[in-house]
Amino acid sequence: MLIHLFGCFSFFDCSSLCWFISLVVVSSLVALLFLCLLFDYCSFFG
């Protein structure tokens, strides 16, 4: 789904590059969400 959203198959020939790009994007989003939850948790109890 993410690869289709980014339109990788229409812009890039190498699908592994598309997988790498979407993996980086998803992992950074998850890390940001985790940091937000962690800091909200700490500030809530602190």
pLDDT in tens, 1-46: 454 545 555 555 556 777 788 889 999 999 988 888 887 776 666 5
CA angle 37–19–1, rounded 5-degree value: 70
Alpha-carbon distance of 42 to 19, in angstroms, equals 34
CB 6 within 8 A of CB 18: yes
- Look at residue 26 in the predicted model and tell me its pLDDT: 92
Longest Cα–Cα distance of the chain, Å, equals: 50
Alpha-carbon distance of 21 to 11, in angstroms, equals 13
- Look at residue 19 in the predicted model and tell me its pLDDT: 79
The helix or strand, by DSSP H or E, that contains position 38, with its residue range, turns out to be helix 15-45
- Look at residue 1 in the predicted model and tell me its pLDDT: 46
**pTM of model > 0.75:** no
